[in-house]
Amino acid sequence: MTLPKALTIAGSDSSGGAGIQADLKTFQEHEVYGMSALTVIVAMNPHNNWSHDTFPIDIDAVRAQLTTITEGIGVDAMKTGMLPTVDIIEIAAKTIKNNGMKNVVIDPVMVCKGADEVLYPELAEALRDVLTPNAKIVTPNLYEAGQLSGMGALKTVEDIKEAAAKIHDLGAENVLIKGGGKLEHEHAVDVLFDGNDYDVLEGERIDTPYTHGAGCSYSAAITAQLAYGATVKEAVYGAKKFITAAIRHSFKLNQFVGPVHHGASRFHKE
Ligand SMILES: Nc1ncnc2c1ncn2[C@@H]1O[C@H](COP(=O)(O)OP(=O)(O)O)[C@@H](O)[C@H]1O
Ligand SMILES: Cc1ncc(COP(=O)(O)O)c(C=O)c1O
Ligand SMILES: [Mg+2]
């Protein structure tokens, strides 16, 4: 037998809920063979309120991992997550272009939940100009969509729609903005824009602080479904179900963080 193959170019979340760990767990849950190119290691300090420290991976090591995967194996779909430098963003963009990759999910990670600081503020421009134009679908959260669109704070579904159109103009084929827990609304609302139509996804809103890794896992679930040949719409609707279940069964890891349960769809039917 064979499995569809997916690649994540992303950072390591030592606490296991987000980043490359979330992506690989999510690929596995979708019966997709997961591969990774690590870009940065994130460590959280339990003695300083879980503050985040980041350790970028050497650029040659990033390049070598990508050569292993693109020239040695091949991929059916790929995603990007946390990218710590402009050089690494450029390598990710080049990898997509040089290999003619089509099923490309760009998660323009600028912030981590649980850390108030924006991790790499100087990278917003490169994420917008270098990476976003290569996306089959780009998946910013509310904050990131405000940055990519240049609109700043987004407060309503109408704001989100306007931002989605602006981000589409940057060259992304499809834009999925996650209202998530941050948008004031009775549902967990995301908006998908394909350049013509808006789909407003209204998921059940779950009353929990434990949503660490939700964004990474959502974009990884989209990637996995694209690897199986799903359309963008099918992939997004399928992934929304997956992430809602994962949040419904999320749990407290310690006093600072609670991750989503990546196996929820498989182990819990309700
Ligand atoms: N409390 C919640 N209940 C249900 N769904 C949520 C909740 N918080 C976030 N989501 C959903 O989780 C997915 C990831 O969104 P979000 O958490 O905003 O991303 P990120 O982790 O990148 O900040 C989206 O589909 C969003 O609507
Ligand atoms: C390596 C890494 N990537 C991405 C993220 C973003 O996670 P989320 O899925 O909660 O947006 C984090 C947050 O801690 C992280 O450590
Ligand atoms: Mg995110």
Residue 182 within a domain: no
Average pLDDT over residues 66-89: 97
Residue 198 within a domain: no
Looking at all shown ligands, the one closest to residue 113's CA atom is 2
Residue 33 within a domain: yes
Predicted local confidence at residue 146, as pLDDT: 95
d(CA 9, CA 162) in angstroms, rounded, equals 29
Q: Considering its fold, how many domains does the chain have in total?
A: 1
Residue 16 within a domain: yes
Residue, of 70 and 114, whose pLDDT is higher: 70
Residue 153 within a domain: no
Contact residues for 1 (Cβ-Cβ < 8 A; gap 6+): none
CB distance 42 to ligand 2 below 6 Å: yes
Residue 184 within a domain: no
CB distance 212 to ligand 1 below 6 Å: no
Predicted local confidence at residue 181, as pLDDT: 86
d(CA 173, CA 170) in angstroms, rounded, equals 9
Average pLDDT over residues 142-171: 96
* CATH number of the domain within which 119 lies: 3.40.1190.20
pTM: 0.98
Average pLDDT over residues 67-82: 98
Look at residue 162 and tell me whether its pLDDT is greater than 70: yes
The DSSP result for 62-126, as a single string, is: HHHHHHHHHHHT--SEEEE----SHHHHHHHHHHHHHTT--SEEE----B-TT--SBS-GGGHHH
Residue 124 within a domain: yes
Q: Quick one: pLDDT band at residue 97, thresholds 50, 70, 90?
A: very high
With contact defined as beta carbons under 8 Å apart, do 119 and 54 qualify? yes
Q: Quick one: pLDDT band at residue 113, thresholds 50, 70, 90?
A: confident
| Digit-coded pLDDT (tens) for 248-264 | 999 999 999 999 999 99
Residue 251 within a domain: yes
CB distance 113 to ligand 2 below 6 Å: yes
Instruction: Quote the domain boundaries for residue 234.
Output: 5-134+209-268
Kindly report which listed range (120-124, 170-174, 208-212) carries the lowest average pLDDT score: 120-124
Predicted local confidence at residue 139, as pLDDT: 98
Predicted local confidence at residue 116, as pLDDT: 56
Residue with tokens 């850390």: 115
With contact defined as beta carbons under 8 Å apart, do 137 and 199 qualify? no
Please state, rounded to an integer, the average pLDDT across all residues of the chain.
Answer: 96
Look at residue 118 and tell me whether its pLDDT is greater than 80: no
Q: Kindly give the distance from the C-alpha atom of residue 70 to the centroid of ligand 1, in angstroms, as a whole number.
A: 31
